Structure 1
């Protein structure tokens, strides 16, 4: 039965398992066993599937991803879909959130705006470079801009 669903991605496999599973006994459940999360539709899913960015309760039930603020702390950026990604992935031109929320409203922003503690804005060119390139002995700001090497102590 699952042969038609085989894929290397666990997320797809989980969805296939849901599509082909007999859930008649789960839709009338009163409580889930230990280690399981009870969806609003009474379906029981493994607790590890909660807050993983995938809606595992079914097509019309998003309760395993609802209330993302209850899904644990996110030290980076919390996608609208619930996934937590590192701050450095925000506005990098690569959509890391399935809903693209890490790339929305990024026009005009770069790492110097989003992570100023680890980046340097070149004075003349306005280019944003990583901080470790400042005072490294190489001009990284572009033609005519040597601001990344100004004020550096030569040792």
Structure 2
């Protein structure tokens, strides 16, 4: 499949063979077809995020609304639906590019094709983004009431 995954700071990611444990873990997600898996170089220790591009060649005929990005980092796996991510069509290049801004701790990325939006949603609910991705933000707590400060009586 004509798909390239690029870490903007380190160049192309390394393709992970389908039989390797990380790829097999991604391929085991219910309702998904495995498209490929890539491993990134270690991010610099002071880098909070990394920019990743997934480049689909012109011959790749996919509904990106049914593609999920399975991510593995130090906090465990998570899934991000591609439809929630800004997509760009590069004028100077055939195909489509999806650009992700991910925590630097991401080590592995796999692409999964789901049969339906509901199947992708179910997978997302099971792996809601232990990496801080994908899950709906929690409601902000009520701000505390300002403390009541007694006024000092004026001294004569």
Band the TM-score falls in, shorter-chain normalisation: under 0.3
Higher relative contact order (CA 8 A, sep 6+): 2
Decide which structure has greater helix share: 1
With the length of structure 2 as denominator, give the TM-score of the two structures: 0.23
Larger radius of gyration: 1
